[in-house]
Structure formats: C-alpha cells, structure tokens
C-alpha cells in the first residue's frame, strides 16, 4: 500500500484507458475517457465548430498531447464530415506558373484548416481519371482542376459525391463548373498593342497548343488585335510550341528562317519566350534591335535572363488564392450556377521589347 509520496493516479489511469495493445494509436475514445468528457466534446475541440469552455478545451488538448493523439481524417470522412483535405490537379509542375498557383491556393486553404494534395498529370502518373477517382475515395472536400483536357464528364463524379469543384482555365469554355482565369484574349491584345506602339508592323507568334486553353484564346486574341490595328495575320508567322523552353527555341528558329521574318514575336508564355531568346542568341540576332520578344506570366526567370524579358504578368498566386476562396463557397454546396472570375493582368516592360 502506498503511504506517502505522489499518487500514481495519472499513470495507472492512462494505462487502463488506452487500448489493450499499448503500441496501438490513441483513439478519440481514449482522449475522451482520460479527459473525463464525451467523444462529442473531443470532436468539438478538434473541429472548432462548436463552443467549448476554455477549461475543457485546455484539458482535452493536454490529454491529446500526452497521448500523442492524431486525428484520422479518413475515418472522419467516412462519418460524412469534412476531411479538411482538398486536391489540386496541375498540368505540368516543371512550369513555374503551377508551383506559384499551388502556393497561392495553399495559403488560402491553410487559413481554413485544409491541407492540399497535389497531382501533376503532365507527368503521366497517375492518369487524370485515376487521380479523380482516388479523390472521391479519399473523400476530399474539394478539387481545383488546373489542367487542360479534363472534361465535365470526368468532373461529374466529384460533384455527385458532394465534392466542390473549381477549374482554372478558359472562361469561354461551356462548363457547369466555376472557372478562375486570366483574360487570355486581352493578354494577347495588350501584347500586340504594345508592340504596335513600339513601331512593329511585322509580328509573329509562338502559340501554345491551338485547341486548348490558354493556347487557343491567346492565339485568337493575337489575330483579332492584328486586325484591329489594320494588320493581316499571316499563317506563316504563326508557330506552335508546347509551353517549354525547347519548343520556344525551335519555333523562334522557324520564324527567323522566313523570307520576311517578323521584327517582333509574341510568345504565349515566358518559358517559350526564354527559348526564343536562346534561339536569337544562337542566330546572332540582337534583342530587341533585330527582333523584339514579349512573353506571358512573369515567372521569376523573366527578370533574370539577358536581355530581361518584357512580359504580361499573370498573377499565378492570386489565381490560386481566388480559386481557393471560390472553392470554399462550393464545399458543401457543389451545385448551382457556374461562376466566371477573371484575374487582372499587367504589362511589365523590361529589355527584350
């Protein structure tokens, strides 16, 4: 019998209250019993969605720390409650635009207590359909799709499962989901207007893939802007890249091989524009003396290359933040009229044009 000293009540109680195997993870029932409260109260402390007294919250949190309890978000999803998890599908994580977008999205979702799962469909693993199916099985609260060639048919199972969906892409596309985008036609028009103001009349373009966003709307904006300035779009001066630096160099080389080569080239993203600068250097052409170059995005490298790249700034982080804010309005109410949100762009003049 213990006759003096500090009673060992807490240690004995914890041993009794834990599961039979002391190596097994602590459960919400363990926390509730040791804290002397109901499992519902522990859930309220964890979720923060119901009022709990400061004293009770402190006691529960102390027990959580003592037991090393970690909430099982998947099990929470099985009960029909939120898992505090969202998924982001991007086209190509090696393109600096997408990490910036992901950073903006993560900042917004962290403010709401959500974590972000990421899939790079450009890497080919996992396929888009497989990842979206996995998102349903994991009971994510919402999905942001920032990748081309994902159809409404692929997205529909998400909405059917009560998952909020927001897309980043072409606002002209007919879709029943919310779209967060830059104004891609206006971006191209502003680039053409700037080059026209600089005295250029023979323009060329390195477009993205012409049947997808943002390649298609930027090509359309370029053509329409030329006509608006009294210039005729020339098929020979329209080349296509795949958003990479290498494709930009190849396209620029083709443009500079034309008998009447352009004096200015609009590239539909910065990576292709930097490739265009590479090609001009190899060909011995001065930029902007022999040919001016304008890109789109204003990635970090745009200000570091030589000559520094004139570009249209598309605030990828802002797009990510806005997508996150819109997703929060969709979580729990995945249906309703689709919303279109355009994020403002701006011209950044440097040395290349």
Indicate whether 1 pLDDT > 80. no
- Look at residue 325 and give its three-state secondary structure: helix
Which pLDDT belongs to residue 210? Answer: 83
Residues 310 and 189 in one domain: yes
Indicate whether 121 pLDDT > 60. yes
Residue 335 located in a structural domain = yes
What pLDDT digit, counting tens, does each position of 29-47 carry? 888 888 899 888 887 777 6
Establish how many alpha carbons lie within 13 A of residue 67's alpha carbon, considering only the half-sphere containing its beta carbon: 30
- Stretch 49-54: mean pLDDT: 78
Residue 249 located in a structural domain = yes
Q: Which of 71, 93, 120 is the last residue of a domain?
A: 71
Which pLDDT belongs to residue 30? Answer: 84
What pLDDT digit, counting tens, does each position of 79-101 carry? 445 678 898 988 888 889 999 99
Residues 63 and 208 in one domain: no
- Stretch 342-350: mean pLDDT: 95
**Which of 96, 109, 54 has its CA nearest to residue 243?**
96
Tokens of 156: 């529909």
CATH of the domain at 31: 1.10.260.40
Residue 280 located in a structural domain = yes
- Residue 129 belongs to what domain range? 85-182+317-344
3-state class percentages of the chain: helix first, strand second, coil last, to nearest 5? 45, 15, 40
Residues 176 and 225 in one domain: no
Which strands form 164-168's sheet, in the order they lie side by side?
A: 115-120, 85-90, 142-146, 164-168, 178-182, 340-343
Q: Is 78 exposed, middle or buried (0-12, 13-18, 19+ CB in 10 A)?
A: exposed
Q: What CA–CA distance (Å, rounded) separates 222 from 203?
A: 10
Q: DSSP letter at 302?
A: G
Which pLDDT belongs to residue 40? Answer: 83
Q: What CA–CA distance (Å, rounded) separates 77 from 86?
A: 12
Residues 115 and 149 in one domain: yes
Which position has the token pair 């590479």?
278
Q: What CA–CA distance (Å, rounded) separates 159 from 141?
A: 10
Mean pLDDT over the full length of the chain? 84
Residues 328 and 303 in one domain: no
CATH of the domain at 321: 3.40.50.2300
- Cβ partners under 8 Å of residue 213, min gap 6: 148, 169, 170, 173, 181, 184
The dihedral built from the CA positions of residue 6, 11, 16 and 17, taken in this order, carries a sign that is positive
Residue 38 located in a structural domain = yes
Q: φ and ψ at 159, to 5 degrees? A: -65, -35
Residues 322 and 304 in one domain: no
Cβ contact 268:208 at 8 Å: yes
Which pLDDT belongs to residue 280? Answer: 98
What pLDDT digit, counting tens, does each position of 230-275 carry? 999 999 999 999 999 999 999 999 999 999 999 999 999 999 999 9
Residue 2 located in a structural domain = no
Q: What CA–CA distance (Å, rounded) separates 119 from 124?
A: 10
User: How confident is residue 127, by pLDDT bands cut at 50, 70 and 90?
Assistant: low
Tokens of 140: 């994510």
User: How confident is residue 351, by pLDDT bands cut at 50, 70 and 90?
Assistant: very high
Indicate whether 309 pLDDT > 50. yes
What pLDDT digit, counting tens, does each position of 324-345 carry? 999 998 886 767 788 889 999 9
Which pLDDT belongs to residue 153? Answer: 78
Percent of the chain having pLDDT more than 90? 49
Q: What CA–CA distance (Å, rounded) separates 299 from 286?
A: 23
Residues 108 and 200 in one domain: no
- Cβ partners under 8 Å of residue 330, min gap 6: 142, 164, 165, 166, 178
Which pLDDT belongs to residue 7? Answer: 41
Indicate whether 278 pLDDT > 90. yes
Helix runs in the chain, H state only: 9-17, 28-35, 39-47, 54-67, 73-78, 97-111, 128-137, 152-160, 184-197, 215-228, 245-256, 270-282, 316-330
Residues 199 and 222 in one domain: yes
Which pLDDT belongs to residue 13? Answer: 37
**Which of 241, 192, 242, 200 has its CA nearest to residue 221?**
192
Residues 310 and 191 in one domain: yes
User: How confident is residue 17, by pLDDT bands cut at 50, 70 and 90?
Assistant: very low
User: How confident is residue 124, by pLDDT bands cut at 50, 70 and 90?
Assistant: low
Domain count, the chain: 3
Residues 211 and 308 in one domain: yes
Q: What CA–CA distance (Å, rounded) separates 167 from 320?
A: 10
Query: Who has greater pLDDT, 21 or 293?
Result: 293
Residues 206 and 305 in one domain: yes
- Stretch 125-132: mean pLDDT: 69
Indicate whether 52 pLDDT > 70. yes
Residue 283 located in a structural domain = yes
- Kind of pairing between the strands at 346-348 and 310-313: antiparallel
Residue 80 located in a structural domain = no
Residue 77 located in a structural domain = no
User: How confident is residue 186, by pLDDT bands cut at 50, 70 and 90?
Assistant: very high
Residues 309 and 226 in one domain: yes
């Amino acid at each position: 019998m213990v006759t003096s000293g500090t009673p060992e009540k807490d240690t004995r109680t914890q041993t009794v209250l834990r599961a039979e195997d002391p190596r097994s993870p602590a459960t919400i029932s363990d926390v509730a019993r040791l804290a002397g409260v109901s499992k519902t109260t522990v859930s309220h402390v964890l979720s923060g969605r119901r009022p709990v007294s400061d004293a009770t919250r402190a006691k529960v949190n102390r027990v959580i720390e003592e037991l090393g309890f970690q909430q099982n978000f998947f099990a929470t999803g099985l009960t029909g409650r939120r898992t505090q998890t969202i998924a982001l599908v991007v086209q190509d994580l090696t393109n600096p635009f997408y990490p910036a977008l992901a950073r903006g999205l993560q900042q917004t979702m962290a403010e709401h207590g959500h974590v972000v799962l990421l899939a790079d469909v450009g890497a080919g693993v996992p396929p888009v359909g497989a990842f979206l199916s996995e998102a349903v099985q994991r009971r994510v609260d919402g999905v942001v799709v920032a990748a081309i060639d994902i159809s409404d048919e692929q997205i529909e199972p998400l909405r059917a499962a009560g998952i909020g969906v927001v897309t980043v892409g072409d606002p002209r596309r007919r879709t029943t989901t919310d779209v967060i985008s830059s104004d891609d036609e206006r971006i191209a028009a502003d680039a053409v207007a700037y080059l026209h103001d600089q005295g250029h009349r023979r323009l060329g373009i390195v477009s993205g893939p012409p049947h997808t966003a943002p390649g298609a709307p930027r090509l359309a904006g370029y053509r329409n802007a030329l006509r608006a300035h009294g210039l005729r779009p020339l098929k020979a001066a329209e080349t296509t890249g795949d958003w990479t630096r290498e494709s930009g160099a190849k396209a620029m080389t083709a443009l500079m091989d034309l008998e009447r080569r352009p004096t200015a080239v609009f590239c539909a993203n910065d990576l292709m524009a930097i490739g265009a600068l590479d090609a001009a250097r190899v060909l011995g052409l001065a930029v902007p003396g022999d040919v001016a170059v304008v890109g789109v995005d204003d990635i970090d490298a745009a200000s570091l290359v030589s000559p520094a790249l004139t570009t249209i700034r598309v605030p990828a982080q802002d797009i990510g933040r806005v997508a996150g804010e819109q997703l929060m309005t969709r979580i729990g109410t995945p249906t309703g009229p689709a919303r279109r949100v355009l994020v403002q762009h701006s011209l950044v003049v440097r040395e290349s044009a």
